[in-house]
Amino acid sequence: MTKNQTSTNVWTVVIVVLLLSIGMGIAAFVYRSTTQVREALAEEILEQQHDVSSLIQEYGNVMLSIERKRLDSNAKNQNALTNALSTAQSQLVQMRSNYSFERLDGAAKANTFIKPILEDVDQWTTQGLHGIAADDPFVLDLAAQRMQERYADIREISAEIDNVANELIAAQTDFLGRFRDSMLLLLAGFAMLSLTIATLLIRQRNLQTQLAIDQESNAQKLIEAETRGRLQAEEALLGSEQFLRATLNSLNSDIAILDHNGVISAVNMPWKSFVSSNEQQYADGGIGHHYETVFKSTAATELERDGIHMATSMVADVLSGKSDEMFFEYPCHRDEKRQWSLVSMSTFNTGEGRHSVLVHEDVTERKRLEERDRRLRAELAHVSRLTTAGELASGLAHELNQPLTAITHNCDAVMSSMRDQSEADAEVLETVNDISEQAQRAGGIIRSMRHLVRKDTGDKVPTDINELVKETVRLTAPEAREKGVNVTLLLADDLPKLHMDPVQIQQVLVNLERNSVEAMWQNESSVRELSIETCLHGEEHVEVCISDTGPGIEPTFARKLFSAFQTTKTNGMGLGLSISRSIVEQHGGRLWIDPDSEGVTIFRFTIPVT
Ligand code: ADP
């Protein structure tokens, strides 16, 4: 039972007791008052009866006195009679003053009767009656008679008073009895009323209690339903938040969600680590801060600062609604590497207004591929030009081969004819021989060139490496001569023939030789010596060593020398060494730069014997 219910019960009991007490109090008061009235009335009646009795008795005494005097008057004692009468009169007067006859009708009546009698008797006994002397026995008889007559009347009045008193008492008793019954009924009514009120109060209290219980249970159910609904909504929200967070975190790009003021409201893990690595103050990715402050804190270089400045102004345009999205790429430096960042932004609307998704993407790899693409396209164009030149050269070589062959044949014919003639001029013979040899050499150069530009590469055939070296030297010799480079060949004897694609290895040799010649020429070295050596490297490899007296290579540059697109030349492609290395490796060999060489730059490559 609750505290409220207890207090209601107490109040119900108090009210019932109070009502009963009031009812009983009223009944007791009325009963007591009426009993007192009845007792007072009875007492009054008794008193009056007593008064009337006393009156009668006194009256009797007067009459007796008159009678006695009258008898005495016969003895002619008039004075004695007169005295008796005056005594009687004074007794009556005394009696009248002692008793109040107005209190009852009966008593008043008696008084009315007595008064004239006394007056008559008084007059008669003092003045006499119609000329008859006052002490005449006749007068006295008359007076006595008169008194007697009235005495009977008084006795009747007394009886009447008794009757009236009895009736009055009976009426009063009856009234009191009925009054008491009414009071009892009233009391019973009060009791019933109290019980009814008590019942109503208890019923009301029960109803209130039930209502309170119902309300409490309904409220409880409502709260439970609300709580269930809220929990479900919270779970759904949490689920979608977790989904969103997991999705955001699974993306490699740095992502931040901004509100309509540009304040960061959520970030993913990559953004957090990107921002916190630059500025420890933003360990949580700068949530709650304006994106511009956070964004600018990531700038490491002036170049990057410019990029970020441009990007933030474009982001501001999106936030202000001037544009719906933006994309901007800017260069930056991370870990001592040049990198590229792409900032993009798109917007979406929720009930809370316009929001934006800001994405930072590392597009360095794409940029690098684009750059490589660009270089490859240039290279392709270059190669295409080379191919065209090669085809022209091939056609030219073919065209030149015939006249050169004709020259050689003709020279042979001339020399043969001259040897048959005894008088032939030895000097002319020698000149013709010279012409023949030069024509053959020109033919050899042209054949080498045709091999070099031939398209059908890829066939590996047993090849004499020394012959291949000589052929390439023949090709590069004009350039070497032009650039003042002396070429020395140190070719080992008895090298086994190597299984190789001669065109590809020739390309490697030409590339290495030309690099050396160009290096020495660009350096304007006083000593320009190019040496090409072949030897056995162990039992399984033949090694070719190309050394020059050029400027050498910077150690930092040397580390990336064999990577594609690494060049120090204005018109260089930076592809020669990387292509050469891959050709050598395709043949099962190795190409490297000798790190221990001093004063000379040495490139070495090996080709397996089998
Ligand atoms: P490219 O000749 O088009 O520049 P390469 O891959 O053949 O491309 O050469 C790459 C770079 O290596 C050259 O630009 C040059 O700086 C350097 N290099 C190659 N050979 C030598 C050498 N013998 N002496 C000095 N530098 C060299």
Task: Write the CATH number for 402.
Answer: 1.10.287.130
pLDDT of residue 102: 45
Last residue of a domain, one of 297, 327, 362: 362
* Residue 581 Cα to ligand 1 middle (Å): 13
Give the pLDDT confidence score for residue 525 in this predicted structure. 64
- Specify the number of domains making up the chain: 4
Domain end point (choices 362, 383, 415): 362
Closest CA to 258 of 224, 230, 287: 287
| Position 99 pLDDT exceeds 60 | no
Residue 494 has pLDDT above 50, yes or no: yes
Pocket test for ligand 1, best of 507, 567, 592 (most atoms within 8 A of CB): 567
Atom of ligand 1 nearest to the CA of 511: 7
Ligand 1 contacts CB of residue 577 (under 6 A): yes
Band (pLDDT 50/70/90 cuts) for residue 452 is low
Give residue 568 CA to ligand 1 midpoint distance, Å. Answer: 7
* 569 touches ligand 1 (CB under 6 Å): yes
Q: Which domain holds residue 88?
A: 3-227
| 69, 167: one domain | yes
Dist. CA 57 → ligand 1 center (Å): 179
Q: CATH code at 82?
A: 1.20.120.1730
Tell me: do 528 and 516 sit in the same domain.
yes
Give the distance (Å) from ligand 1 centre to CA of residue 513: 10
**Atom 16, ligand 1: residue with shortest CA distance:** 568
Dihedral, CA of residue 79, residue 85, residue 90 and residue 95, to nearest 10: 160
Instruction: Check whether residue 537 and residue 449 sit in a common domain.
Output: no
| Strand duo 529-537 + 486-491: pairing | parallel
Regarding whether 107 and 54 lie in a shared domain, the answer is: yes
Which span out of 276-290, 321-335, 514-528, 590-604 was modeled with the highest average pLDDT?
A: 590-604
Q: Identify which has the larger pLDDT, 67 or 576.
A: 576
Structure tokens at 115: 């008064």
Which pLDDT does position 90 carry in this prediction?
66
Between these two residues, 98 and 159, which has the higher pLDDT value? 159
The pLDDT assigned to 562 comes to: 92
Q: Is residue 113 situated within a structural domain?
A: yes
- Tell me if 591 CB under 6 Å of ligand 1: no
Q: Whose CA is nearest to atom 21 of ligand 1?
A: 515
Q: 508 in ligand 1 pocket by Cβ < 6 Å? A: no
Check if the beta carbon of residue 298 is closer than 8 Å to that of residue 291.
no
Q: Write out pLDDT tens, residues 358-396.
A: 898 888 888 888 888 887 777 677 666 666 776 777 777
Shared domain check, 497 and 421 = no
Per-residue pLDDT band at 490 (split at 50, 70, 90): very high
Q: Which of 166-175, 231-240, 355-364 has the lowest mean pLDDT?
A: 166-175
Residue after which a domain boundary falls, among 194, 212, 227: 227
Give the distance (Å) from ligand 1 centre to CA of residue 569.
8
For residue 236, being part of any structural domain is answered with: no
Distance 592 CA to ligand 1 centre (A): 13
Mark whether 399 and 507 lie in a shared domain. no
DSSP string, 151-205: HHHHHHHHHHHHHHHHHHHHHHHHHHHHHHHHHHHHHHHHHHHHHHHHHHHHHHH
Whether 572 lines ligand 1, by a CB cut-off of 6 Å, is yes
Q: Say if ligand 1 is within 6 A of residue 515 CB.
A: yes
Q: What is the mean pLDDT of residues 208-215?
A: 82
